Structure 1
């Protein structure tokens, strides 16, 4: 199974046209900027929270680098990793007009924006657009971004794939972002991790790096294609957007309702995020409209919110921030994570106000989504119960899928289960240290001891 990237914005031009408005119509109230106009975000910006010092990784389609909204953004562009699928060796992505470039200008591409461009502006945009009207204002305009280009394409046109038998190695690019120091990684797209291993994804899990992605904007859920599950939140390690521990959002509008284009049961959706009725630049003109942005925009907005939280609570680990995310959703005042039994709303809609006021360091340094998915899988009666308990030394061929035995879950998925056990055991050690009156007990946490895990998870006290 080779890797492939697909945007998760709305792919229907007719839908985009139906919601288009003139620049003057939205310039007055800027309704399409409602995720940024949230009172908690406005207050955070006024208090000096702007992403300064926070590193955010982004994996997406090629950016139009001279887009006005990115003129003062701190972005490092880098071409992604590719593999010759016939020999598993490194390869270049060669397009019809030459090697894939990390970014491209509007003159070179003939386009004015792209999927990657729009997503990037939700993080570090300055509010400008081509025609001088209101553009997207970024949630963390001063953050440092490492943008890794996984291909060329946009939401209205078919992707421009590499010529020949060349596949993406997104897992390696995740590893590069973790090594760079990213605290949050945005992947506003869906795709297969591929046959090249889970080292990068596991590296992110071990170091508490938050990965945000989404689901297909489609009312018809195909578990095989979309890495979904309609009955229980188990994750699916073959796809980066459903990899255990990854935040998988569904988009909502200003009224908190799930967008009509993706109103579907999907148990692997675990959070709701703003993405409907938002500003959306046109790829083929200077026009910008109010439209559905899909779970792509939901991912980018959520990544921006979490980057603000990282800046607000610098001592919190990524896992603790995720704990706060799922415990403090809108309407949930219990302080505990509560999944929607109907499998539509996950843990609920992100509440950025509470994330910026509730100290996350009170929570365990255990990824709650990883915990829920591994635990749920272990209780099932089908092959999913074996996914995260595998050992490559005894089961090198992986475990068959409940839908298609020709696409087995690789044996390395056992490392996912062992990583959860490591996080859980490490937190028990932190709690014991605190109970004994110790100091600096967080040095025993899973995040603090991540590098000791090396390439294979070793449980504390086992050597």
Structure 2
């Protein structure tokens, strides 16, 4: 595995923590932070589906499953909790640095229960399962959130482990951020080919975005990925990223979240600013509702439905660099049977990176050449065993180790048998001799 081509630095899609905390007594204002639940048709959709049976993998900061907004939610740790060299990585944690992953998870599977006497947060797909992987803890500075890989010596290998484990664990949707290159880009490409819907948010600050790097594209610019932008309660957009990779615009601004607070109670309310980080899980949750409602639809057909029901589909889908295929329309999405559409990913562009030819070959290439990986199929747990870096034996061939162990046991048995037989031939030993 090649190391150090480009150390992955995952910049969380803009500043989740932009905005100021709202006093706990301002209950009316806090309730306004759940504007998206009624205004976008989510409440109506949840009358029949909740995302049950759908697994959403979240690759973000660690997550606090004991936060009041997540108590009782269906969240479990993915199979990667260590770097390829065996260094442990916190995945489930009540550390304050878990705030970003906790907020993202809450938008998907929030329990809706009041927090400290304030309004709760009902997730978009509360019946879904969230599979958690960690890019470390969320460090905040000047209102901006940053995540850097916890495995700087092999960030590419760590991302490969995560993506392949998510596929093998049966993830239907994968929320991801960061740059990918070589083997990690191949792993993501193969995940998409295997039928995993990948969602990534653009930076909140447009100056942080530029042309895609052909050797190391950001997840939100990765060809075939649902690249998300956000809008607020009045339909407003704050400093949006513009580019041919933009796929969909979804609710993400002025959301209510609960932060750890100085007492680490995870009950400090906050109304955030524009956040693509929260628009990502909104889209993931909405697609989970569709998947439950139309179980015969393929992942590509679900993406086709997302495109064909967005605001630019009048009547045929139209893409713009400013809004992608338009704004997500949850009622129309829920009312449309995806099986009527072709089983083709509508987000793979002819001029995108990776190129369509790379999807055909199943390998992403850079200036050093191809990095073939053995493709992983959903539910194939054994395929990810050597990729998780979950312990000192991770990645070692299982069969040779098993045979060697069996050989040692046979030798020990033979030695014991010889000793027993020799003892019997000599008879008992007299005391004192």
Regarding TM over 0.5, the answer is yes
- Counterpart residue number, 2:207: 220
The equivalent residue for 1:430 is none
| 1:321 equivalent in structure 2 | 302
Between the aligned partners of 2:29 and 2:138, the Cα distance in structure 1 is: 32
Residue 91 of structure 1 pairs with residue 69 of structure 2 = no
| Distance (whole Å) between structure 1 residues aligned to residue 184 and residue 254 of structure 2 | 38
Q: 1:250 aligns with which of 224, 229, 238?
A: 229
Which residue of the partner structure matches residue 278 of structure 2? 297
1:22 maps to 23
Q: 1:237: how far off?
A: 6.0
30-39 or 119-128, larger mean C-alpha shift: 30-39
C-alpha deviation, 1:245, in angstroms: 0.7
Contact 2:57 2:173 in 1 (8 A): yes
| Aligned residues of 2:79 and 2:165 also touching (Cα < 8 A) | no
1:95-244 aligned at under 5 Å gives the runs 99-105=88-94, 109=95, 111=96, 114-128=99-113, 130-156=115-141, 159=147, 162=150, 165-167=153-155, 169-187=158-176, 190-223=177-210, 227=212, 238-244=217-223
**Alpha-carbon distance change, 266 to 39 in structure 1, aligned in 2, over 3 angstroms:** closer
Cα displacement (A) at 1:265 = 2.2
Which residue in the other structure is 1:376 paired with? 351
The alpha-carbon distance between structure 1 residues 409 and 244, as it changes in their structure 2 partners (threshold 3 A), is farther
Contact kept? 1:77, 1:149, Cα under 8 Å: no
Residue 266 of structure 1, CA deviation = 2.4
- Shift in alpha-carbon separation, 1:412–1:303, aligned structure 2, 3 A: same
Aligned length: 365
Structure 2 matches for 1:258-269, cutoff 5 A?
258=237, 260=238, 262-269=239-246
Equivalent residue number for residue 70 of structure 2: 70
Q: Which moved more, 1:202-211 or 1:68-77?
A: 202-211
Distance 2:119 2:164 in 1: 36
Counterpart CA distance in 1 for 2:67 and 2:358 is 47
State the SS of the aligned residue for 1:367: coil
Please give the per-residue CA displacement for 1:416-461, whole angstroms capped at 9, x wherever unaligned: xxx9xxxxxxxxxxxxxxxxxxxxxxxxxxx99xx9xx9xxxxxxx
CA distance in 1 between partners of 2:114 and 2:86 (Å): 33
Please give the alpha-carbon distance, in whole angstroms, between the structure 1 residues aligned to 2:186 and 2:294. 28
Which structure has more RCO (C-alpha within 8 Å, separation ≥ 6)?
A: 2
1:77–1:146 Cα contact (<8 Å) kept? yes
Partner of 1:426: none
Alignment CA distance shift 1:219-1:27 (3 Å): same
Long gaps (5+) in structure 2: 1-5, 384-433
After superposition, the CA RMSD in angstroms is 3.4
Q: Which residue of 2 aligns with 1:3?
A: 8
Q: Mean Cα displacement is larger for which, 289-298 or 25-34?
A: 25-34
Query: Per-residue deviation at 1:92?
Result: 3.5
SS of residue in 1 equivalent to 2:134: strand
Q: Distance in 2 between matches of 1:125 and 1:391?
A: 35
Query: 2:328 is paired with a residue of what secondary structure?
Result: coil
Whole-angstrom distance in 2 between the partners of 1:59 and 1:124: 15
Mapping 1:442-457, distance limit 5 Å: none
Residues 164, 191 of structure 2: 8 Å contact kept: yes
